[in-house]
């Protein structure tokens, strides 16, 4: 079975504190791998290391190698945006952006420029919400703020937004139907 992620003597430091010590393991492709351990043992640190989400933490320092598809993701030549596009993370609690429901669901396909026009994007949003059984519940609230949704209720689970968005086409030409501004300020597609 092919190895998807190859972790070789990987260490991780928060300043002087060493959170991961010489982690070596091979994660096979198309299998579910579970990390089990007590609180504080480093599960989240390890997961965040897989798409370099820890990079932004001041004083954080990785030592060692993590290869994904044979490529060392800590190589300085790695395009981190591209890495994070390939290595996604679904959080325990949804983290919607401070935008409308529509814009949250549309975010991935729009940023990646997968849709040819606003109509295609709207269709993709509808299709995604139908797929996860939320369309009927939420179709009249698409323009409302996503953060107003209750993550505990059956609606409003941001982790159900389509990811990865299914590729349809490679360019994005017109602004999203509902967005007054696109890309949203502060985002760097």
Ligand X SMILES: Nc1ncnc2c1ncn2[C@@H]1O[C@H](COP(=O)(O)OP(=O)(O)O)[C@@H](O)[C@H]1O
Identify what 45 binds: ligand X, Mg ion, none; CB under 5 to 8 Å per kind: ligand X
Site string (15-34) toward ligand X, x via CB under 6 A: --x-x---------------
Q: Does 39 bind ligand X (CB under 6 A)?
A: yes
How far apart (Å, rounded) are the C-alpha atoms in residues 19 and 17? 6
Q: Does 41 bind ligand X (CB under 6 A)?
A: yes
Rounded (10°) CA dihedral 76, 82, 83, 86: -160
Kind of pairing, strands 60-68 and 17-28?
unpaired
How far apart (Å, rounded) are the C-alpha atoms in residues 76 and 56? 15
> Nearest distance from residue 18's CB to ligand X, in Å?
9
Site string (37-76) toward Mg ion, x via CB under 5 A: ------xx--------------------------------
Helix (H) or strand (E) holding 120: helix 118-131
Q: Does 51 bind ligand X (CB under 6 A)?
A: no
The nearer residue to ligand X, 58 or 77, going by C-beta atoms, is 58
In 3D space, the residue among 58, 53, 57 whose CA is nearest the CA of residue 66 turns out to be 53
Positions touching ligand X (CB under 6 A) are 14, 17, 19, 37, 39-45, 57
């Amino acid at each position: 079975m092919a190895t998807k992620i190859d972790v070789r003597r990987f260490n991780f430091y928060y300043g002087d504190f060493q959170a991961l010590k010489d982690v070596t393991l091979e994660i096979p492709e198309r299998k579910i791998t579970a990390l089990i351990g007590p609180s504080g043992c480093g599960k989240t640190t390890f997961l965040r290391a897989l798409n370099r989400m820890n990079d932004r933490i001041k004083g954080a320092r990785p030592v060692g190698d993590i290869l994904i598809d044979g490529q060392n993701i800590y190589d300085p030549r790695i395009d981190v945006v591209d890495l994070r596009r390939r290595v996604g993370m679904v959080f325990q609690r949804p983290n919607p952006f401070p935008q409308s429901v529509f814009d949250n669901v549309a975010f991935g396909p729009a940023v990646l420029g997968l849709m040819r026009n606003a109509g295609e994007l709207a269709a993709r949003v509808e299709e995604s919400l139908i797929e996860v059984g939320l369309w009927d519940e939420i179709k009249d609230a698409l323009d409302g703020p996503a953060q107003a949704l209750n993550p505990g209720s059956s609606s409003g689970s941001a982790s159900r937004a389509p990811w990865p968005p299914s590729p349809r086409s490679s360019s994005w030409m017109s602004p999203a139907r509902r967005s007054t501004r696109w890309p949203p300020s502060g985002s760097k597609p």
